[in-house]
Amino acid sequence: MPPRFFTRQELLAAGVPANQLRPGGTFQRVLHNLYVREDRTDFYTLVDAALHLAPADAIVSHHTAAMLWGGIVPSSSTIHLTVGPATLLRMAGVTAHRVKDRTHVMLNRRRVTAPMRTFVDLAVNLELVDLVIFGDTLVHKNQVTVEQLRAAAAVATGRGARRARMAAELVRAGSESVRETRTRLLIVLAGLPEPVRQLRIRDETGAVRTRPDLAYPEWKIAIYYDGDTHFDSTQQRQKDNVQREWLARNGWQCVTIYARDLFNDPTGVLARIEAAIRANGGSARVKSIAWQRHFLVMK
């Protein structure tokens, strides 16, 4: 159930001391003149507070809807609501979008734009890579299918429609993490062949020995992404080393990509992948500079 909201006047009239309405007090202000008990303040409280103050037909949309659906998007400092074109909604902490399309679904008693609609809406605000990441996470959480995203993007019009279609074509089922999606997009936007996701590599007994994030089985190239915190675990590090030594003994080239590489030296990442492909007899090369519009190039 949504939390119970109070105005400052209601709390003072009920005998709540004014010092309990300050930061650290029993009641916290969430939006405008709206307070809740301190132990009820979280993202969902902010959403419900915005809906409480907004017109009754307001719909949660854009970044806020994306988060309610469990998608991963860049953070936003405001709650996003969609209202009718004739509705004026001005409130600190709320971004209002005035549109004619009032279609929505109910999610935990909240009026929310459907996942496909949210994807198309965010095409106006998000960069291509971030939009694909959002799409991948929606599909991974079974909120929508790739086909549904592409169908919604295909009929989209106006600002963002072209980006929505480009992103939908790059969304894949089976992507398991943001890091995997970012790495895959760097590779694909550079014109290299699209690698296989989560390939199960088996040993001579048929047992799965390892499952790299991305791979080129035809050239025996395994690509792993390791975040900066990955090697905090000595046990995990040892396990990874044993797996990659086994791959090397069996003719595989391993390319390990760290977070700092992907964000600071994408040119170097692509060069290492190219070198691994050449080392195992492949001829694929970087053919496009399109990736440079989406990934930082360090000189």
Please name each of the domains of the chain with its CATH number: 42-170 (no CATH), 178-293 (3.40.960.10)
Report the chain's mean pLDDT, rounded to a whole number. Answer: 91
Question: C-alpha dihedral over 246, 247, 251, 253, to 10 degrees?
Answer: -140
Residues 272-285: tens digit of each pLDDT: 999 999 999 999 99
Q: Which residue has the tokens 């659906």?
A: 69
Residues 102-133: tens digit of each pLDDT: 899 999 999 999 999 999 999 999 999 999 99
Q: Which residue has the tokens 């790739």?
A: 146
Q: Which has the higher per-residue pLDDT, 61 or 38?
A: 61
- Classify 212 as helix, strand or coil: coil
Q: Name the band, by pLDDT with cuts 50, 70 and 90, for residue 237.
A: confident
Percent of the chain with pLDDT over 90: 74
pLDDT for 4: 87
- Cα gap 269→257, rounded to integer Å: 7
Residues 3-13: tens digit of each pLDDT: 689 999 999 99
For the segment 72-93, the average pLDDT, to the nearest whole number, is 92
Amino acid identity, position 165: R
Query: Per-residue pLDDT for 230 more than 50?
Result: no
Query: Per-residue pLDDT for 212 more than 50?
Result: yes
Q: Name the band, by pLDDT with cuts 50, 70 and 90, for residue 225.
A: confident
- Cα gap 149→169, rounded to integer Å: 9
pLDDT for 84: 92
Nearest residue to 257 via CA among 202, 181, 190: 181
Contact 126, 134 (CB under 8 A): yes
Residues 129-147: tens digit of each pLDDT: 999 999 999 999 999 999 9
Read off φ and ψ for residue 2, nearest 5 degrees. Answer: -65, 150
Query: Per-residue pLDDT for 289 more than 80?
Result: yes
pLDDT for 62: 97
